Every structure is written in C-alpha cells, then in structure tokens.
Amino acid sequence: MNSIDSHDDNYLIELVKNGNDSAFTFLVSRYKHQVAKTIFGMLGNCAEADDVGQETFLRFYKSINNFRGDSRLGTYLTRIAINLSLNELKKRKRKYLFFHFDNDENHLEIGDVNSDFEKKDTKEIIDMAIKNLTPEFRSVIILRLVNGYSTKEAAEILNLPIGTVLSRLSRAQIKLKEALKKLII
C-alpha cells in the first residue's frame, strides 16, 4: 500500500521539508479535529477560533525545519494551539477592559446572563463553567479531561513540571465544581 495516508508522521514531515505540499495537506487533515477541539475548548465557538486554527498550522509549516520529533506531532501542534489560544485570550482581555471603561452602559449585566442558564443543556453549562476558569486552569482541564492527554503529555505541552500540572488540575477541578454548583442552582 503506497498511499500517503499509510505513512507515519515523521515520514510525512520529511516529505513536507522536501517540498511535498500534499503531505502537508494530509497532516492538516489528520490533525485538524484535534487542534480544533483544543482551540474551541480554550476560546469557545467564535470567529477567532478559526483564525487560531489556521495560524496553528501556518506556524507549524513555517517552523517545520525546527521540528525534531522529540514529541509526537499531535502534542507539538496542541502546544502551538494552546499558546496561540492563550495569546488570543490576552487580546480579548485587553479589548474587554478597553470596552468596559469606555462604554460602561453597554456591558452585560449578571442578571441577563443568569436568566440564559435556564435554557442551557448540561454540555453548554459545563462549557460555560470551563470558559469562566482562568486560562492556566482552563488549559489543564481541556488537555487532561476534554482531550484526554496524560499528565505527562499535558506537562510537556504546557512546558510545566508534572507536579504543577497535577496541582493546577486539582485546583481547577475544585473551581469547576464550585462554578457548576452556582450555574445549576
């Protein structure tokens, strides 16, 4: 069997390094759902999520010669996606602060948001609770509980010690449980 999809990632990466665009297209196809799941978990369903997804693969393509294969390609792409998502969240925070101070009467009131919770199903409530976590906790929850990475893989992706990932996961689960109690009641 000589089709491109029967080859492992390292072989396909070598093809891309040698100018084979079909191999890159196949790698994007192979990993686009994993990357999208990570980004949507971090940012939610928004226009910026599509942009971050495209930027993830663009960054990978531009830096493909730096990929040494120390980690799996999926782990490497997830690391790029998490970092770009965190950058996007920082931009949002700056935009929100600017908007909030300039247009005080235009911000949402808490009462408006709470009335919407009655209409949400369980998954939407969980997604809302995850989005309310700080980025450091959200990234650990997304990697470990949503995407199913091991603690070691999550530590590698986030470039953190395993103990820090475990600590953040524990604290994130507590905060998530508290947030869910507030949202459900």
Break the chain into its structural domains and give their ranges. Answer: 1-107, 108-185
> Which class would CATH give 108-185?
mainly alpha
Per-residue pLDDT of the chain (185 residues; tens, 9 = 90+): 446 666 899 999 999 999 999 999 999 999 999 999 999 988 886 778 889 999 999 999 999 998 888 889 999 999 999 999 988 888 766 544 433 334 443 333 333 444 444 444 677 778 888 888 999 999 999 999 888 889 999 999 999 999 999 999 999 999 988 888 887 76
Structure tokens at 143: 């990697």
Taking the CA atoms of 19, 23, 29 and 31 in sequence, report the sign of the dihedral they define: negative
Q: Are 141 and 133 in contact (CB under 8 A)?
A: yes
d(CA 12, CA 157): 22
At 60, give phi and psi (nearest 5°): -60, -45
Q: Which pLDDT score, from 0 to 100, does residue 134 have?
A: 92
- SS3 category, 56: helix
Q: How many CA atoms lie within 13 A of 10 on its CB side?
A: 5
For residue 169, give the nearest of 132, 138, 147, 146 by alpha carbon. 138
What are the distances in angstroms from CA 21 to CA 2, 14, 55, 61, 80? 17, 11, 17, 10, 21
d(CA 112, CA 105) in angstroms, rounded, equals: 14
**H/E segment holding residue 31:** helix 21-43
Domains 1-107 and 108-185 equal at CATH topology level: no
**Is residue 130 a contact partner of residue 172, using CB atoms and an 8 Å limit?**
no
Output the pLDDT for position 121: 65
Q: How far apart are CA 157 and CA 79, in angstroms?
A: 5
Two structure tokens written together for 100: 């909030």
| Cα(55)–Cα(29) distance, integer angstroms | 15
Tell me the whole-structure pTM to 2 decimals: 0.67
CATH architecture of 1-107: Orthogonal Bundle (1.10)
Dist. CA 110–CA 108, nearest whole Å: 7
